[in-house]
Amino acid sequence: MNPEKLLTIESGFVLTGLGVLVRDIPDEAAQQRLRQFALHSALAVVLVFADGTELTATASVEEITRASPTNTQVTLTEYALLLQLPDLPELPPAGTEVWLTNQLTPSEWL
């Protein structure tokens, strides 16, 4: 499988006990890259930091629903990645790229 860029981190936050949820700028092209996978699909990914350092991780495709910043009566839904990061002391900074290396089978999730 050829590596495929999934997203460039725009923001993220720690979900205690679950991992780090990261999202891209919510434009249509970025969303389509993640929507090609079923929700909760496990993916083998590589994070590429601005200095070129790489970190291998596992991610799952998740859905976020939130109020629109311009109209609280409207909800927005977008896809994001939940990263399982080994020993990362802080959130991956904005601009970090997440690349798909492989889609995992259910037996590989455990």
List, in order, residues 6 or more apart from 9 with CB less than 8 Å away: 22, 23, 24, 92, 93, 94, 95, 96, 97, 98
In the chain, the number of structural domains is: 1
| Residue-range definition of the domain harbouring residue 65 | 4-105
For residue 50, being part of any structural domain is answered with yes
The residue with tokens 């970190």 is: 55
pLDDT tens digits, the chain, 110 residues: what are they?
578 999 999 999 898 889 999 999 877 888 999 999 999 999 999 999 999 999 999 999 999 998 888 988 899 899 999 999 877 667 889 999 999 998 766 555 55
pLDDT of residue 69: 84
Instruction: Tell me if 110 is assigned to some domain.
Output: no
Residue 60, both tokens: 């799952």
Assign residue 19 the CATH number of its domain.
2.40.30
